[in-house]
Chain A
Amino acid sequence: MTTVLTPRGDAETASPRAGNRPLRPARRRRTTAIAWGFCLPFIILFAAFGLGPVLASLGMSVTDITSRDLRDPFNVNFIGLGNYIELFSDPRFVRSALNTLYFVAVGIPLTMVIALAVALALDKGIRHLRSFFRVGYFAPVVTSVVAVAVVWEYLYREDGLINSVLGWMGVAGPDWLNDEVWAMPALIVMAAWRNFGIPMVIFLAGLQGIPRELYDAANVDGAGAAASFRHITLPLLRPTTLVIAILLSVGFLQFFEEPYVMTNGGPLDSTLSIGFYAYNQFGFGNYGLASAASYVLVAAIVAVSVLQFRLFRRKG
């Protein structure tokens, strides 16, 4: 990158320092130009469809743009952080932020525990029909959320399958999706079921990367299954866990599809998420406010990812 910009003299004095046999500057420039040429299609596409909208929405989030300005998008006023202040003084937005936090804080650990348990079972426990189970556990990931929602809505009905099973055990189940307290847990369980497939595959790869000799050695030293799991499996899965935690938190923070198809944010806003709030505001034509809400979400995703990098960073 710097080579393109540095004057000829600098490049010549800099190259001998590289130790290897230096390329002649002209040739080096040509190589760089060709390299940029190969990257160009991606850069153009990324700038037009990736970076452009991102910057445009950042710009929109500090203006009072609404659907009234459709034909004249530059005819708007700069209002600084006004949208952000409005967001945090709206109790519904605060509620949606807390709901999202609830979903993330419970949903991610739950999904990871299920994924790890299933991965362990597939790695060690299940001897027969292994690929059948792998496909079975991965299937929810590739199923359309709309189709899944229809089935789960039946399961969660007041007279649905889940409550029938609970009834056999003498428990009277709630009307899950219409209950202010139970709607969110119901969505979390469904999200965990729908999302554990990919972490499971990554965990499985991580597990198969752990050398068997370590377990043999531990076995010789008299360690039981629980001790080997705690002192060998878990520490060696640390990098895998980091990847999964970040992938899941990016996905879970954008919590939208489940309430959109199952509860519409209700009952009484108990499943309204930040993503859903932003979607609604776009629908009302409040583009500035909606963009600001989306950026709050982006900030949250960045913050959570940084936090996880800190937490899971390899010690030593």
Chain B
Amino acid sequence: MISRRATWAVASGLALSLALTGCGRSDDTTDAEQAGARIDDTPATGTIEVWAMGTEGELLPELAKKFEEENPDATVKVTAVPWSDYAKKVETAVAAGKTPDMTMVGASDLPTFAAGGGLDPVPDGLVDTSRFYEGAAASTTVDGADYAVPWYVETRVLFYRSDLAEAAGLSAPTNWTEYEAFLAALQEQGADYGIAIPTGAPNTWQTALSFVWQAGGSVLNEDGMEFTLDTPEAAEGLAFYQDLIVSGIAAPNGPDGLGDIEPLFVDGSLGAFISGPWEMGLLEQAGGEEFLNDKVAVVPLPSGPSSNSSYIGGGHWSVFKDAQNRDGAWKFIRWMSEESTQQDWFDISGDLPAVESAWSKGSLATDEHLAVFQEQLKTAQAAPPLTTWNQIGAMMDGQLERVAKDVSTPEDALAQMQQEATEIGTGEK
């Protein structure tokens, strides 16, 4: 009986799959998708349903209130979604055709969502993309069309214990040669490790790629069609990364989650680390305000042979094709990219403005820590806007773990990355 039932199940499964063959893939065009109708300048109306993630989701209603004051006929309804499962939520909503009007999107997830076909291309003339940081604007373009408008940005800089550096009589390193000596000196001043860098945990590529960029390497060639991972420049970058770990300056098992390194940094067993703007709050929580002011220094990443490029991430806004209130949503997004709104949002949340000119006022212009981020943003690069990037990034994490553990040489790992990335492809069909 069991086997008969099993046969039946398999048979109907095959029947179903045969039925599927009847409807094969239609020809995919590689042309960029055409944007929809332009958005006019009249005030927004109706209810705008918004999904926002994490802290942004909690704080957005405060900003939205101001929009509602300026557009009395519009109501903004914010739903806070946790970062951890928002990708699945968005994909499910797109598949079911039941989406909100707009959503926040993490910069490196955008290509995947755009490829799913659920996002409305940015209408022509909505925003002037040259006002945004180049890295942020670049990460909104997928297959030749823009699918999102940058909202806030984040980039990674070097945090170090200024008291340890002072004791060693050193100032901040500006290039790779000074870098290693500087970190080793912090170690001599009593830190167990000079620096903590990820060694294979998810998103290790964000840190490792910055070493590759600093050495002059890149993930893709100029036209973005071919991978260029197995170059001597990239190998030089990874060799520097590997050397930090193998020489014992960096911990062999780097941090793998938010909140792992702050206690070590506070108690002096860690001399430095590379992280983003959120770290200010975390360090204040872990060590108190006095610690943050007296013992923490923040500087741009030291330059390699080519540049001091860091990784740029952040949050974008996208509108769904199935939006009920498409015009209202785009108007809200246009309003949020205005200079004054960007400054207001910084005051509310501390998120760094994606619009370059918004940095001209208030603490954005005067705070010395923020100036470091501003400096770093100028050269920061985004993840390649590939629909397959999630998979390629995870593959790279696996190879980088081999480099960090000294199982692979940088050259072998890069050759393997190049081969696997080419097999996975850029997502173009």
Contacts and interface: CB of A to CB of B under 8 A. Distances in A.
Interface stretch (A36-44, A63-71, A97-105): A63-71
A267 B202 contact: no
A284 B201 CA distance: 17
Contacts, number: 93
Interface stretch (A9-17, A75-83, A162-170, A207-215): A75-83
Interface in A52-70: 54-56, 58-59, 62-64, 67-68, 70
Contact of A75 (B13, B14, B26, B202): B26
Nearest to A268: B401
A266 interface: yes
A67 B20 contact: no
Interface stretch (B111-119, B177-185, B368-376): B111-119
Given A178-B253, A269-B398, A58 B23 contact: no
Interface string A265-299: 01111000000000010011110000000000000
A71 B17 contact: no
Given A70-B91, A76-B25, A268 B116 contact: no
B398 A71 contact: no
A107 B391 CA distance: 31
Contact of A67 (B14, B18, B116): B116
A92 to B, nearest CB: 8
B117 A74 contact: no
A264 interface: yes
Given A55-B12, A267-B200, A63 B17 contact: yes
13 contacts: A54-B9, A70-B91, A74-B23, A75-B23, A76-B20, A76-B25, A77-B25, A78-B20, A78-B24, A268-B405, A284-B388, A285-B91, A285-B390
Contacts of A284: 388, 390-391, 394
A268 B404 CA distance: 10
B16 A55 contact: yes
A71 B322 CA distance: 11
A178 B404 CA distance: 12
A160 to B, nearest CB: 14
Contacts of A178: 252-253
Interface string B102-123: 0000000000100111100000
A78 B21 contact: yes
A94 to B, nearest CB: 15
Contacts of A25: none
A87 to B, nearest CB: 14
B403 to A, nearest CB: 11
A59 B13 contact: yes
Given A58-B13, A264-B202, A268-B402, A68 B20 contact: no
Contacts of B427: 68
Interface in B249-281: 252-253, 256
A69 to B, nearest CB: 8
Contacts of B202: 264
